[in-house]
Chains A and B, each alone.
Chain A
């Protein structure tokens, strides 16, 4: 076990990815993600890996496609506008069943937006990381420690299901420092075998093809149906969620990532006022922890996000009319305050308490 060190979220993501066996990183600078690429540029050469600053985000994601095709653990990172540029390549990777990790350190949008923390790419991450019929596992860390742990596991999930995996972080998590215990360095020889990789057949096997073009409709239909069978397995086995004080809660707050930290403070404050509040924190945004919400006997839900209301739709789907679902958010890079969230909890509690 390594020692407890103080690191920025961006740096911890980079270090943990390398410890997971990532030896190919293709990036392009953008605030508030830049320290991640900078850290990679400094440390990847020491591990005999490739750090490459591409000429654009689009080039970077296609380099990830290439490295992943060769069976290597590859990653790229960016922030919101840069992720939009990458989505064409991500769709191609989903279509070609290529494992890789993509990190989005979100900032305010739309457009160039702001450079302050935001969660306004929830819909993009869970619904629209490119065109076509596909999903991606999306992990949403809430602490620097969890950022390190999740990116480390993301490579295994990507390899297991042959899919790109997204880490949906934000500017707060990327920029802040917290103590972190880093995961152990993976031995490259022990990484999963990839018999499908296009890494040279040496005349010993038929050649492999990595491709997302299927002109025969039936063939593409079969491909997509097979991929969705894998998605069913992901939905069954990979859901992660944290439940905090939900057992007896009347008002359950649902929040992920940075917003969940603030929501947790507000829940604690509500408890000390005698209000039975709890928190459900989805760690996977896809697959969504539907069951945790279904099993919850709350009289009302409050969804807190750093956007205009995106995940709230998934909560409403899961609650399915069984209880009121309200929303509180701050957008554009404004970080909500715990006392604002507490105010909402108090108001809802008074409403449903009657």
Chain B
């Protein structure tokens, strides 16, 4: 059973947080649920932290800006520091443990660190740390059916890069198992 999710995915520009957010959004589209995806598009896009808010819900969505996420992917320290504070009680905060040192005092949330960039690199999937982390987040939150996740990847990868679909699917699997 797919669960509602209010997620924030954050990292440096180029780490693929907006793309990973799109995968969640497409999963919601495929399952015919209410969906919103809202990117940061301000000055932070130019070199600072890029992030997006994604909501999947059975109800119509109010603000697409997620202010109390129940799911967070943090790909760098400033993103972790910022969004760990905003996370709602019980939230799943998934981060790259090689890049983030959790220095917060929250004890009411789940903090799950995996060396996502290293996992991706070791498997020669250089830039897919975002998808590895997404797989991990899915394994905790089950925001969609497992099969939907692969379908969503297929929809998000542009036709010109269709050869990368399988690699993305493998990255998901490695994240789920990590």
Residues on A lying within 8 angstroms of B by beta carbon are 4-6, 31-32, 114-116, 171-172, 175-179, 261-262, 264-266, 268, 335, 337-338
Q: Determine if A335 and B25 form an interchain contact, defined as CB atoms under 8 angstroms apart.
A: no
Residues from chain B with a CB closer than 8 A to the CB of A179 are 28-29, 34-35
Q: Determine if B32 and A4 form an interchain contact, defined as CB atoms under 8 angstroms apart.
A: yes
Residues from chain A with a CB closer than 8 A to the CB of B63 are 261-262, 265, 335, 337-338
Contacts A/B (CB < 8 Å), 26 sampled? A4-B29, A6-B22, A6-B29, A114-B42, A115-B42, A172-B38, A172-B64, A172-B65, A175-B38, A175-B41, A177-B22, A177-B35, A177-B38, A178-B35, A178-B36, A178-B37, A178-B64, A179-B28, A179-B34, A179-B35, A261-B64, A262-B62, A262-B63, A265-B62, A268-B62, A338-B62
Q: How far is it, in angstroms, between the C-alpha of A338 and the C-alpha of B64 when the chains are bound?
A: 11
**Closest CB-CB distance, B138 to chain A, in whole Å?**
19
Within 8 A of A (CB), among B4-63: 22, 25-26, 28-29, 32, 34-39, 41-43, 60-63
Residues from chain B with a CB closer than 8 A to the CB of A261 are 61-64
Q: Determine if B29 and A264 form an interchain contact, defined as CB atoms under 8 angstroms apart.
A: no
Decide yes or no whether B121 CB sits under 8 A from chain A. no
Residues from chain B with a CB closer than 8 A to the CB of A268 are 62
Residues from chain B with a CB closer than 8 A to the CB of A337 are 63, 67
Q: Name the one of A32, A177, A178, A335 contacting B65, with C-beta atoms under 8 angstroms.
A: A335
**Closest CB-CB distance, B158 to chain A, in whole Å?**
13
Residues from chain B with a CB closer than 8 A to the CB of A5 are 29
Given known pairs A179-B29, A261-B61, the reply for A171 and B38 (CB within 8 Å) is: no
Q: How big is chain B's contact interface, by range?
A: 20 to 34
Q: How far is it, in angstroms, between the C-alpha of A351 and the C-alpha of B174 when the chains are bound?
A: 57
**Contact residues of B: prevailing secondary structure:** mixed
Q: Determine if B39 and A175 form an interchain contact, defined as CB atoms under 8 angstroms apart.
A: yes
Residues from chain A with a CB closer than 8 A to the CB of B41 are 31-32, 115, 171, 175
Given known pairs A115-B42, A262-B62, A337-B67, the reply for A176 and B37 (CB within 8 Å) is: yes
Residues from chain B with a CB closer than 8 A to the CB of A265 are 62-63
Q: Name the one of A6, A31, A116, A171 contacting B25, with C-beta atoms under 8 angstroms.
A: A6
Q: Determine if A177 and B36 form an interchain contact, defined as CB atoms under 8 angstroms apart.
A: yes
**Closest CB-CB distance, B37 to chain A, in whole Å?**
4
Q: Determine if A176 and B62 form an interchain contact, defined as CB atoms under 8 angstroms apart.
A: no
**Max chain A Cβ within 10 angstroms of own Cβ: one of B29, B60, B63, B64:** B63
Within 8 A of A (CB), among B101-153: none
Given known pairs A6-B29, A338-B63, the reply for A177 and B37 (CB within 8 Å) is: yes
**Closest CB-CB distance, A279 to chain B, in whole Å?**
11
**Closest CB-CB distance, A171 to chain B, in whole Å?**
7
Q: How far is it, in angstroms, between the C-alpha of A335 and the C-alpha of B63 when the chains are bound?
A: 9
Residues from chain B with a CB closer than 8 A to the CB of A171 are 41
**Max chain A Cβ within 10 angstroms of own Cβ: one of B22, B37, B60, B64:** B64
Q: Determine if A116 and B65 form an interchain contact, defined as CB atoms under 8 angstroms apart.
A: no
Residues from chain B with a CB closer than 8 A to the CB of A264 are 60, 62
Q: How far is it, in angstroms, between the C-alpha of A179 and the C-alpha of B28 when the chains are bound?
A: 9
What are the nearest 10 A-B pairs in CB distance?
A265-B62, A177-B37, A176-B38, A176-B64, A262-B63, A261-B62, A6-B29, A335-B65, A175-B41, A179-B29
Q: How far is it, in angstroms, between the C-alpha of A265 and the C-alpha of B65 when the chains are bound?
A: 12
**Closest CB-CB distance, A306 to chain B, in whole Å?**
11
Q: How far is it, in angstroms, between the C-alpha of A128 and the C-alpha of B83 when the chains are bound?
A: 41
Residues from chain A with a CB closer than 8 A to the CB of B64 are 172, 176, 178, 261
User: Across the two chains, which residue of chain B brings its CB closest to A171?
Assistant: B41
Q: How far is it, in angstroms, between the C-alpha of A337 and the C-alpha of B60 when the chains are bound?
A: 16
User: Across the two chains, which residue of chain B brings its CB closest to A175?
Assistant: B41
Having A176-B38, A177-B38, one finds 13 other A-B pairs with CB under 8 Å, namely: A4-B32, A114-B42, A171-B41, A175-B41, A176-B39, A177-B37, A178-B35, A178-B64, A179-B29, A261-B61, A266-B62, A268-B62, A337-B63
